[in-house]
Amino acid sequence: MKKILTISAAVTAALITGTTFAAPKISAQSIIVNPTPSDLAVKVNVDRDPTGGQVATYRVGDNVRISATVNQDAYVYLFDIDAAGKVTQILPNRYNSGANFLKANTTKVFPAAGDNYSFSIDGPLGLNKVLAVASKTELNLSNISEFANGAQFATGRVEGQQQLAQALSVVVNPLPQNSWVSDTALYSVAPSQTVSTGSLFVGSNAPGSIVYLNGRQVGGANVTYTNLQPGTYAVRVTTPGYADYNGNVSIRAGAVLNLNVEPTAGTVTPAPQPVQSGRATLNLRSSVAGALVFVDGRQVGSIQNGGLNLVVPQGSHEIVLIAPGYRTFVNTYNVTQGGTLTINPTR
């Protein structure tokens, strides 16, 4: 998230000691959670999802407005964490509407009408999170951010939601456990509409052909696949009773590439191309058709026909499933080899 005018967007990274605290809980989705029930509540939303519960999409260059509501008088702190882990403190700030004490049952919007700044989406692409923390007492954020050299927005001292959660844990740990709460809003950043993409037509004269791009099932044959980023793609076409077709194509911006496959009769299927060293094939299964899938903050596809095939680097990955009417599923998995992962979000 970028501040228009002359506001610095630089973030200075500083390591925070990883001490364990009893009260706050760190959550991949909500970042930091108070496990103690409280009569204080806070709600944060972005303007394209005013009621919450969905994942709004913004394109690079779009402006976004963020709102916060509390049910009691409270100090409210807002942070944006982008897909790369950069932390931006939104509230408090030093503009006219930048005071962070909110009265009960009021909604405050940033930027407010008349403010001479805006929040403009500038990437990176992927899943962003806005964290709101409300407290009955004012918090000391000196270890998290600072107003340097007369800047209107505070410069972050931490980077990534894990460091932010740990730093906030230090801040809220001495407080009465029922005196603070948090809330998180999600939104996705997509390429601007000016980004040029290419298309691929895959034709086949045999019925029942299935097309895979870079190991992911995308649909059937005799279909034009659009909005493909320029580059090289591995294409696999499977047809019952025929040998698989495997090849590579190069997609160019603004062009449609035609690939006509003539299946070879026979039931012998060539061995699949090996996955690159250091990567693994993950078969993600779910009963929630159409659920959006994010890996490490980047949307990689959706659940179709009960699953989605992914090729990911070996190591730890945050996987998020989002579907209307279901609770957002967030968890981190250590992928060391290929396999099947079944995820069924709850309502």
- Whose tokens are 């951010």? That residue is 145
pLDDT at 323 over 70: yes
At 147, which CATH number? 2.60.40.2550
| 183-197, 273-287, 332-346: range with lowest mean pLDDT | 273-287
pLDDT at 108 over 50: yes
pLDDT at 47 over 70: yes
State pLDDT tens for residues 207-256: 888 999 998 888 888 888 888 888 889 999 988 878 888 888 888 887 88
User: How far apart are alpha carbons 273 and 271 in whole angstroms?
Assistant: 6
- For residue 8, the model assigns a pLDDT of 29
User: How far apart are alpha carbons 169 and 192 in whole angstroms?
Assistant: 36
State pLDDT tens for residues 158-215: 888 888 988 999 999 889 988 999 999 999 888 876 657 888 988 887 888 899 999 8
Contact 233, 246 (CB under 8 A): no
Do 184 and 224 share a domain, yes or no? no
User: Is residue 124, in this structure, part of any structural domain at all?
Assistant: yes
User: Is residue 270, in this structure, part of any structural domain at all?
Assistant: no
pLDDT at 276 over 60: no
Q: Which residue among 261, 288, 307 closes a domain? A: 261
Q: Please state the separation of Cα 165 from the chain's center in Å.
A: 17
Q: In this predicted model, which residue has the larger pLDDT, 194 or 133?
A: 133
User: How far apart are alpha carbons 130 and 219 in whole angstroms?
Assistant: 35
User: Is residue 241, in this structure, part of any structural domain at all?
Assistant: yes
**Where would I find the H helices in the chain?**
161-172
- What's the pLDDT band for 66 if we cut at 50, 70, 90? very high
User: Is residue 267, in this structure, part of any structural domain at all?
Assistant: no
Do 74 and 129 share a domain, yes or no? yes
* End-to-end CA gap in the chain: 31
| 112-126, 225-239, 272-286: range with lowest mean pLDDT | 272-286
β-strands 42-46, 66-70: how paired? antiparallel
Do 181 and 256 share a domain, yes or no? no
Adjacency order of strands within the sheet including 198-204: 223-228, 198-204, 256-261
Express as a percent the part of the chain with pLDDT over 70. Answer: 88
- For residue 194, the model assigns a pLDDT of 61
Total domains, the chain: 3
User: How far apart are alpha carbons 135 and 52 in whole angstroms?
Assistant: 21
Do 103 and 186 share a domain, yes or no? yes
Do 228 and 291 share a domain, yes or no? no
Do 64 and 176 share a domain, yes or no? yes
Q: Which of 51, 48, 41 is CA-nearest to residue 187?
A: 48
Q: Report DSSP state, residue 244.
A: P
- For residue 3, the model assigns a pLDDT of 42
Do 235 and 316 share a domain, yes or no? no
Mean pLDDT, range 325-339, rounded to an integer:
82
Mean pLDDT, range 106-113, rounded to an integer:
88
At 284, which CATH number? 2.60.40.1120
Do 150 and 182 share a domain, yes or no? yes
Question: 215 is in which domain, residue-wise?
Answer: 198-261
Do 162 and 207 share a domain, yes or no? no
Do 185 and 204 share a domain, yes or no? no
User: Is residue 271, in this structure, part of any structural domain at all?
Assistant: no
- Whose tokens are 């394209």? That residue is 48
Stated pTM of the model: 0.57
Do 76 and 220 share a domain, yes or no? no
Q: Which residue among 148, 171, 190 closes a domain? A: 190
Q: Which of 315, 319, 308 is CA-nearest to residue 337?
A: 315
